[in-house]
Amino acid sequence: MNQADIGLIGLAVMGENLVLNMASHGIHVAVYNRTTSRVDEFLSGRAQGQPISGVYSLSELISKLKKPRRVMLMVQAGSAVDSVIEELIPLLDNGDIIIDGGNSNYRDTIRRTTDLNKKNLLFIGTGVSGGEEGALKGPSIMPGGNSKAWPFVRDIFQSIAAKVETGDPCCEWVGDGGAGHYVKMIHNGIEYGDMQMICEAYHILRQIISMEPDEMANVFSNWNKSELDSYLIEITADILNKKDEESGKPMIDLILDTAGQKGTGKWTGIDALQLGAVATAITEAVYSRSLSALKEERVAASKILNGPQYQPFNGDRDGFVDDVKNALFASKICSYAQGFQLLSMAAAENGWSLNYGNIALMWRGGCIIRAQFLDRIKDAFEKDNQLPNLLVAPYFQQAIENAQNSWRNVITTAVTHGVPVPAFSSALAYFDGYRSAQLPANLLQAQRDYFGAHTYERSDKERGKFFHTNWTGQGGDTASSAYNV
Ligand code: 6PG
């Protein structure tokens, strides 16, 4: 066979499926896996008859590639990426390209882009979303890193990426350094928020109006025909319909309520705190997973700590289901508003110039958070890439206006019944906070000044002038130096 177009290292399920996706687009791929028996298994199995060549060492891999060489890593994020890069460096020539397609931390991607650039190697750190199926049939691909590499990988990436109805690929150059992996991290944070909000809707329907999984599956299927149309709503309907083969019971009732997490939601929360951004929908979703993990403690506490007495729901059941739908949509809007605001703060911090309309397009298909309403987000940012917050874009302003009464009703009902709705309620608190011209931070500033002479600005003086009051008549007049996060 001729020289391969690209090499791929790491034949776990995402790697294998990406290779098959490339091959189905006529791209010749050379594949390598550290445990080389995987290469043989792949070649004699799913790769049979495809333009895929197997190799048994990194040097053989490099010798098989067209120049400039393109080598894509689909290995576990973290030190494994660094060690493969170390091994590749002496084998590569100036201008060759290393691509990391794992869920790497964007700070590692910034470092790798800079270090490899010094060695005249071009590095791309790219988000790849869509799970196994996406990798095979068309993922969302979010590349960033050294922009000089983009012209050499664009055709491959855009041909294997998911396409939206217009035919546009869900893949565009995101930006320098860690921008691609940052956007993927935010995608995952939003994914956490979406999943938690769907879980809250499920919990409300189950606990408050005693809806059974079958009926709920229909509700979710119907919601999927509305503005909530999205992959996660679609799979939720499927999940709720699924029966255990042995017992015939709904599968959902047999799954232990304790969530796992690999860390990208937590990274998003940490980054939001560091930047001073508000990302409560995402952080509440992370906390909810952590709380769920305390299963034994919760079981013990449930025997000691009482909530409200169970009251059968005697309101309008269908009307309430609609309210839950509206509450879910309004909360979701707040979560995306926070995610995009975090992106813009990170862009300012890292010197990235991000195109938010393109990011919405990249998330429109292929990825886990794909949803129809991303078209609306794309439109909003296409009108104004500097939009300060999605909530003030006319479509979203109106959508929340329409959903608001339902949203408040659902949260009030959940609170009255003792059903926890941290993502719904924190989203509403964010909305109420964001739309408030006056918040109680005047008192907070007074408290800070009282005990620590931290100073405050006055509402009757221009911004940027700081004052200190001697509150007790006993403190001095010296203000502490001011710094702000
Ligand atoms: C994707 C997903 C994926 C993520 C998993 C698991 O975009 O395809 O975001 O990258 O790793 O969803 O994440 P958790 O284990 O943290 O839930």
Ligand 1 pocket mutation pick from 18, 74, 103 by most atoms within 8 angstroms of CB:
103
Q: Which atom of ligand 1 is nearest to the CA of 103?
A: 10
Q: Which two tokens stand for residue 34?
A: 């550290």
Ligand 1: residue whose CA is nearest its atom 6 = 262
Q: How confident is the model at residue 359 (pLDDT cuts 50, 70, 90)?
A: very high
Residue 196 pLDDT greater than 90, yes or no: yes
Comparing C-alpha atoms, which of 484, 415, 468 is closest to residue 208? 415
Comparing C-alpha atoms, which of 380, 422, 425, 385 is closest to residue 398? 380
The model's pLDDT over 375-414, given as tens digits with 9 standing for 90+, comes to 999 999 999 999 999 999 999 999 999 999 999 999 999 9
Residue 470 pLDDT greater than 70, yes or no: yes
235 CB within 6 A, ligand 1? no
- Integer CA distances (angstroms), 318 to 198, 219, 423, in order: 18, 10, 23
The model's pLDDT over 264-296, given as tens digits with 9 standing for 90+, comes to 999 999 999 999 999 999 999 999 999 999 999
Residue 482 pLDDT greater than 60, yes or no: no
- Integer CA distances (angstroms), 295 to 37, 283, 365, 423, in order: 40, 20, 35, 20
CA of 13 to the centre of ligand 1 (A): 13
Among all residues, which ones are annotated catalytic? 184, 191
Dihedral angle of Cα 462, 467, 469, 475, to the nearest 10 degrees: 180
Report whether 279 contacts 338 (CB < 8 A). yes
188 CB within 6 A, ligand 1? yes
Ligand 1: residue whose CA is nearest its atom 1 = 129
Ligand 1 pocket mutation pick from 142, 191, 288, 289 by most atoms within 8 angstroms of CB:
191
CA of 384 to the centre of ligand 1 (A): 30
**Residue 477, pLDDT score:** 74
CA of 202 to the centre of ligand 1 (A): 21
Report whether 94 contacts 119 (CB < 8 A). no
